[in-house]
A and B are shown apart, each in its own frame.
Chain A
Amino acid sequence: SSELTQDPAVSVALGQTVRITCQGDSLRSYYASWYQQKPGQAPVLVIYGKNNRPSGIPDRFSGSSSGNTASLTITGAQAEDEADYYCNSRDSSGVVFGGGTKLTVL
């Protein structure tokens, strides 16, 4: 099965813009989805498809993709955005998750 690679940790100053990336061969064929997970909670879908936000997700979250890399961008990061972020995509076996990125808002 394929793999998705994420940076383990990223930080951003309050109100600034941050990009979290996800790399893998499956992203050349399938869209990435992005999930936010806060301690002790289940993951929450924040981006799916080309750049779709589920109802209730702030518009400061956006997604993009190029080649084998997908990105989640948070424009104007808020304190409540501090969390772990995971990407996933489909692959030949079904689904694969990235290892996750811990986002710290300074």
Chain B
Amino acid sequence: SAVISQKPSRDICQRGTSLTIQCQVDSQVTMMFWYRQQPGQSLTLIATANQGSEATYESGFVIDKFPISRPNLTFSTLTVSNMSPEDSSIYLCSVEGQGGGYTFGSGTRLTVV
């Protein structure tokens, strides 16, 4: 299965600022997925990032708030913009491996103060 390196692992940010999260995969993948996991909750898909095209956002998530880059088949970034305390969550990237199973990055624990 694919190995994903995600960073930063955690950060504490001031409200109104932005944070960019990076995910690097050890193999080329067509789609990369970005999830949010609020405290004690399940995983909610933010958007799907395809190389060479704009990301596809789920209902309730917009590009201005969560801009995504996908410059190549092994790398993607998610930016959380103009942060508020409600953005405090764990953010995870995910890819589908060749065998069909999905693996996750180690997650970014974001606290907005």
Are the chains A and B members of one assembly? no
